[in-house]
Structure 1
């Protein structure tokens, strides 16, 4: 795991901002030198005004794919349980072609109940949603193989979550990237579980990039990067900063990204 370069992603939450503002922000993140830009797959804001401006994930990602040239992009993460798996695979393949092979296929089981209730989907239980994800992932991979043309790829599959009974076995079986918000105090245990699941499958856990959510509080105002340093020491290599369209009066607080890029560069210089 630890031979990989350190990378910085930026999640531009598609809330409280115009579509053009999100496109301009994605371009700026690329110009700054970030490695990836992510959206999310919800239908309503998760913070701020609950009925504020918000945009759908797949169409927005297609716009970002057209507007950028180098940066990887994807959803952090698509919600499997209100997206038909075969259709979602086709949509992702299409965006990957728009992006010239830069798409990251991020997926999870879903959790925000309002999305389901207002759009007429069955929310069910955590277990039911995870079982649906387990059923969907082979269909998605099979559809990738059947599509003509196929993804430009190879398109990395990112799976979000931390559950040891269902999610981590899915990561071991299907994922190229595992994303969570697990802290340094728990990460080593989770990695041990993931390694055991990979061993069961005869897979090298080192094939999976370890990803974690950063915080705009890391590195800002003299707080430092102690938490990210600890995650990095355990094996995390992709760190994603969450930004929202209402961070400032002007929109996304993109100036916060530079400290993270400097931190990344220092880590990579020391490899």
Structure 2
């Protein structure tokens, strides 16, 4: 990809340009694997730095010594590597590993060259077919693949949630709540007793359902709603996706469960 007389991937953004241009240049390492060149004339595609063999840029295949070993300058274009319709390196009898590697990487020139047409840069996501269209959504999904599906998200993130309480519920659901049993396991010298009942060791299961105080509060909610709830934390998380047929009752239960350790 040539800008003026320089390859875009090699331009130094610190010498000139706006903040936007410099920010754009910082994304080059992230974008580079997605950009492939469809060679047509070979007049603009960089032989070493562009991904035109659909493997990876040849400079990454051979290393920085590739251009010197092969005898083709690092700023050479694909057309510079051709002699009478064939790769100039094809006539070499050298057993140098780099030269042999380049021979294996080069495609048949008759399959890629289309005389008179300009080289075209395409966007290739993973194993998909290169395209002239850019999809931000598809690129984002490739860079940030979805994690494993969880069955408790509806009990934590729902319309009408209180952000602070939802965050605490999310931390608890991921077993990251800083209960005293966790603090002690990290080597901190803190009392182990529950702050609410002061009778048993504090743990995630205890402060939500085993503690006498929490049991009393939760029983108040469930009895008024006329529902029967599980009493194991992970089971309750799944049950809370649909705790009652009445939407208003279900909403109150969703708010109540996350406030148990806050009362």
Question: What range describes the TM-score normalised by the shorter chain of this pair?
Answer: under 0.3
Structure number with greater CO (CA < 8 Å, separation at least 6) is 1
TM-score by length of 1: 0.22
Structure ID, larger Rg:
2
TM-score by length of 2: 0.23
Structure with higher strand content: 1
